[in-house]
Structure 1
Amino acid sequence: MKSFTICFLWFLTLIPLICAQWIKQEGLLLPNSFLEVASENGEVDPSEPPDMHLDIYDRADHVLSTSQSSSTVVSSSSVIEQDPVTTTMTIPTSGATPIIDSTPIRFTINPGDVHTYELSGINPSAKALFISLNVCNEPFQSVPFDLPQNKTRLTLFATDTNMTDAPMSQIETELGYASIILRDLQSSTSVIEIAGPKLPSGLKSSSWTYEVIASTKALQSDFSFTSNLYLVDTDFANALFITNNFTTSNNVPTENISDFGIYVYQFSNSSNAGDIRRLSQSFCAVNTEGALIDQDNAQMSNTTRGYGNTMKGQIFVSGLNKSETYLAFLTKPSERLVYQAVNFTTKSDTNCQVIFDLDFCSGVAFAVPGNASAFTTETLREFYDDMALNRYGNFSKSLQNIPCNASAETQYSIMRGCDDCANSYKQWLCAITIPRCTDWSNQQSFLFPRPVGQSRNPEINEVIKPGKYKEILPCADLCYSIVQDCSPDFGFFCPKAGRGLEFSYGQRSPNGDISCSYPGAAYIPSTASTGRTISMELILFATLLWIL
């Protein structure tokens, strides 16, 4: 038994090596655009940025500008206020361009060239140097995918000394981004190099534009493998998104929608669509490649609708084409952070229109049966909200006849009260009064077809007069809730399975799809097609299951 256990454990230690070799052979993409270099006991203890006096040189070592006390240093990408400076930079390594702590610089590099930068005057208390590289654009032929992606990656090198022939850590960019962290710094000077690979001649564009930042505080540019963006719904010309919650466990907001940016790119029919997919982890590329829509022409606001009923961001983009697929990037400019992209496709029919921010049915935010030739988003929203509010009036009067404030002995339930009943009824009423609409051509099995003139509510047929569409039915649990939360005196009941339930209500899906309509619903974002990715943890877990 002991021998079997030893062999089993020995086999487990080989699993990561086997999987890694298989991934390398298969060409799968692991998140390898991050490199951390440290000694065995290295720890991060970021300190305040050092005071420095830096001259800004061009490639010929001509002085372009000199930092002064409380001066403003202008780079090609930003204007940054500098703290008062007291120390003087040493003479840079021959051929190296000096850079300033936490200040981004942008340059163009040609195939086969190497650019060298030097950061000197690093404070002795700084225990780490964070270096990030973003590719803003890359060489291409007539279309971007003519060049294999692994042939156009820049390489980032870094060392914590300016000694000649010192060993350098290195890493290639992955989808336009790479970073290195040097820990336990050995000197007050660091040298950084960016190298461009050699490429064939005759390209339409044969150079890269990149942005590099070195900092003793933290990574000044980064990529997040979570999207932080959720698709609520689309229609033929618009899309609505929400972000993750902005609040902490104490329900205190820590962020605001104004902290974020949005960039929407079209998949097809765009000269830069391929570029952005190949550079989807680069803040510089997402920010500068000419998005179809950005925060300047998107409607951005805060909302408490959705999961947790706490503050989160809401983004509404318009001016889209029907039946078109897009990529949406959420960014956080203050951190030069770009989140994993979300792809989405607009609807093909004009019979559904997205509405949101209703006064009464505040949880409603989706495409409803519409008529774009007769109703704007605002007038359609008002029609549906007023219809639900008017229907709620009769229930509200009936609820007043229930002894809500009676003693525990005479209340209709010791677990539920009138407030619970009123809330459940409102959620159910809004869901059955305001149908969730999708394309007639959509073939998903849970959809209910609504031909012309056969909407759920007669008022929709008479006033809105939509074309044919399919409805995502209200969730059955909304009906169950009013039965549980309200007094039996109301006489509420729900249809049973096989006896009408399937024609009136749908069931929630466990896979994140919206298979029935409920307040605050949002789609789990689908990841953009930015390359094949795979998780080592998933491989190990699957292997263990196979063994056991």
Structure 2
Amino acid sequence: MQWGPLQSRLVASLAASLFLLALYLLLFSPNVALAAELPLDSYELGDAPHDVGNVRGAASYEPEFDLFDRSIIGRALPGVATLENDKPRALNLQPGTMACYVVEKSAIFGNDGNSTGGAPLRPLDEASKTLHLSATTCLQPYFSGSNDKRSSPPQLILSVSNSTEAGCRKLSKDPKDAGVTLFEEGAAMYSLNATGDIYVGITAPNVSSDFQGVYNFEVAASLTDHFHRYQKRDAAELLWMDSDSTSALLVTRNLTENEADVRRIMDQGPPYELFVSNRDSAATDGLKHSACGLQHTAQITANTLSNSKSNSPARTGMTLKGPGGFPKQQFYFASLNASSSYIGILVKKSKVAAHEKRQVGDFDTGSVVFEATEFQTVSGTNCKVVTDLEFCNEIQYAVPGNDKKFNGTALAKAYDDYAKTMYANFETVMMQIPCDAPRTSLYSLARNCNDCKAAYKKWLCTVSIPRCEDFTSSNRFALTRNAGQAFPNGSQLPDDVRNPLIAMPYSNASRNAFIDSEIQPGPYKELLPCEDICYEVVQSCPAAIGFTCPQPGLISFAYSYGRREENGSTASCNYPGVAQTPMSAARNLVPDSILLSSVSLAAVMMFG
């Protein structure tokens, strides 16, 4: 059978079309064929996210080749997925492969004044707009080598361009020389002025045979700020208040100091998670700036979920206790190892998970990782952290204790009840002061009885509940106490250490007889109260109550009070709210000192 001219041309045209289609598929096949997009919550890591075995298990996955989703059907670039505003995407990458994304011009500028992510955008007539790109590593290949050398895999690589050629090409040279951005501790942030489509490449570098498993990352684009952020501040966001041999207490800075916001913030619940690991652990190496990476690798996690587990070593919650009575989030850790160093990393959790869209009008949706806070436990067992006292509600530190007589709750109550009893004596004295008289008839035009009661309570709680440091503490500001008494386990200090100390009255007993007779902690060191706590009482209370403070330079002052050293690396004296975190970082939590410059102070009242 012979075809006519028209039929011949039709067959030739069809053959040419088939040839061009085959050539197109050959040249433009997806370059991320080993990547499988998975939501982060698809990983079943078990109840112990720090378990290295569980992390290894997560690297074994079933690929779901979801590269061509509905958002890119019909696009001219196969294998290039879209990024929408404030909508993170998660993906697995085998080492040596890459993934490519595009933030389309319509998502940046909007085609009708609204973004695809729900945030209102300005019209299309702008020449450029700032685009914030961020990515974090959630999992990385684990070290399976035989040597004991601490090692972590190379970091992921972020490339950004207004063309696919630059943004989505595989690197052919050292990333440091390729004009791209290396992730740092599992995070990368990049901002640029966009005028059109922006292409984003994430490259998983090749790894040696000592590493096994895949990379998993999360990437997002935002027009307001980086969706994933690592934030380093001059003052620490998380403060280590104190610790003993097995527990530690950490708190955030005040979440507000506006009284009108207090109730709203308390009703919202805890905004942070805290991830803690032993400083010697390599589990979080390479992931310390990544919220999802810490979630999978940290040894201890403190969040609202950990509160519900009966055997959890961590508890967290909102509190108004502490200086100022403002909202802060508190973290308490138990079952820690004695004489150990830990790293705590505070994270503000993202409100939007991968594959979810943010709520309209919600501009603060991403995660924020804050600079790590280091803390240590001690070797001695007779200093115990107390917190959440009912009367002395600003006390949050280690106090002289005795495991043989008191658990943590009972110890806190014993001290609190003692201070409350002593305060009752003060109230009897204050009944003699005409506190209800007209202001012009009061003892002071600047202070009133409420100021006096607050200052006296702070002083009383601080001196009757001394801050305890281990007897072996090297803090030069700490004073030895109760050297002649046996430790709770029955042992005593060696004679060559004990004999010189018991010859000095201030080292042979505690500040208060109640401690030696009722608590019986044995030898310890005390961080003395700051002098301005005493001065505040003198300034705030009527002279008729007879309260005075020791004068600097006298022996009674040296063994009763300490002075602040603002630039010191350790606390030089005790004031409610003083953290073990260096003073420069904790300064915002502590009220300014109120010092007397011209008051003659001669004697010591009550506890000295």
TM-score, normalised to structure 1, is 0.74
Tell me by how many angstroms 1:383 deviates. 0.3
1:209 aligns with 2:216: yes
Tell me by how many angstroms 1:98 deviates. 4.8
Name 1:508's counterpart in structure 2. 564
Separation (CA, whole Å) in 2 of partners of 1:525 and 1:506:
17
TM-score, normalised to structure 2, is 0.67
CA shift in 2, pair 1:507/1:485, >3 Å? same
- 1:316 alignment partner, one of 320, 328, 332: 332
CA shift in 2, pair 1:310/1:320, >3 Å? same
Q: Secondary structure at the match of 1:276?
A: coil
8 Å contact 2:468–2:526 — kept in the other structure? yes
Tell me by how many angstroms 1:317 deviates. 1.5
Name 1:122's counterpart in structure 2. 107
- 1:489 alignment partner, one of 544, 548, 560: 544
Name 1:349's counterpart in structure 2. 380
Separation (CA, whole Å) in 1 of partners of 2:31 and 2:583:
44
CA shift in 2, pair 1:195/1:457, >3 Å? same
Question: Which AA in structure 2 matches 1:342?
Answer: T
Tell me by how many angstroms 1:371 deviates. 1.1
Tell me by how many angstroms 1:517 deviates. 1.6
- 1:521 alignment partner, one of 567, 574, 578: 578
Tell me by how many angstroms 1:91 deviates. 2.3
CA shift in 2, pair 1:123/1:406, >3 Å? closer
1:262 aligns with 2:278: no
Separation (CA, whole Å) in 1 of partners of 2:520 and 2:133:
59
Separation (CA, whole Å) in 1 of partners of 2:74 and 2:34:
14
Q: Secondary structure at the match of 1:505?
A: coil
1:476 aligns with 2:522: no
- 2:244 alignment partner, one of 235, 239, 248: 235
Name 2:200's counterpart in structure 1. 192
- 2:345 alignment partner, one of 319, 329, 335: 329
Tell me by how many angstroms 1:165 deviates. 5.4
The structure that has the greater radius of gyration is 2
Name 1:457's counterpart in structure 2. 512
Question: Which AA in structure 1 matches 2:187?
Answer: Y
CA shift in 2, pair 1:415/1:290, >3 Å? closer
Question: Which AA in structure 1 matches 2:544?
Answer: D
Question: Which AA in structure 2 matches 1:230?
Answer: L
Separation (CA, whole Å) in 2 of partners of 1:109 and 1:94:
17
Between 86-95 and 174-183, the greater mean CA deviation after superposition: 86-95
Separation (CA, whole Å) in 1 of partners of 2:537 and 2:583:
33
Query: Counterparts of 1:10-409 in structure 2 under 5 Å?
Result: 59-60=32-33, 75-77=39-41, 89-91=73-75, 93-98=77-82, 101-120=85-104, 122=107, 124-125=109-110, 127-139=129-141, 140=143, 141=145, 146-147=150-151, 152-162=154-164, 164=165, 170-187=180-197, 190-199=198-207, 201-205=208-212, 207-216=214-223, 218-226=225-233, 227-247=236-256, 249=258, 251-253=260-262, 255=265, 256-268=268-280, 273-295=281-303, 296=306, 297=312, 298-334=314-350, 335-408=366-439
User: What is the root-mean-square deviation in Å for CA atoms of aligned residues?
Assistant: 3.2
CA shift in 2, pair 1:76/1:422, >3 Å? closer
Tell me by how many angstroms 1:99 deviates. 5.0
CA shift in 2, pair 1:197/1:122, >3 Å? same
Tell me by how many angstroms 1:304 deviates. 2.9
Tell me by how many angstroms 1:515 deviates. 1.7
CA shift in 2, pair 1:527/1:195, >3 Å? farther
CA shift in 2, pair 1:146/1:388, >3 Å? closer
Q: Give unpaired runs (5+ residues) of structure 2.
A: 1-29, 44-68, 111-120, 122-128, 170-178, 307-311, 351-365, 486-508, 586-608
- Measured against aligned partners, the alpha-carbon deviations of 1:334-370 in whole angstroms (never above 9, x if no partner) come to 2222111101001211101111111111111110111
Q: Give unpaired runs (5+ residues) of structure 1.
A: 1-56, 65-73, 80-84, 529-548
Tell me by how many angstroms 1:117 deviates. 2.9
- Measured against aligned partners, the alpha-carbon deviations of 1:501-530 in whole angstroms (never above 9, x if no partner) come to 0111111221263221222222335999xx
Question: Which AA in structure 1 matches 2:567?
Answer: N
Tell me by how many angstroms 1:104 deviates. 3.1
8 Å contact 2:241–2:580 — kept in the other structure? yes
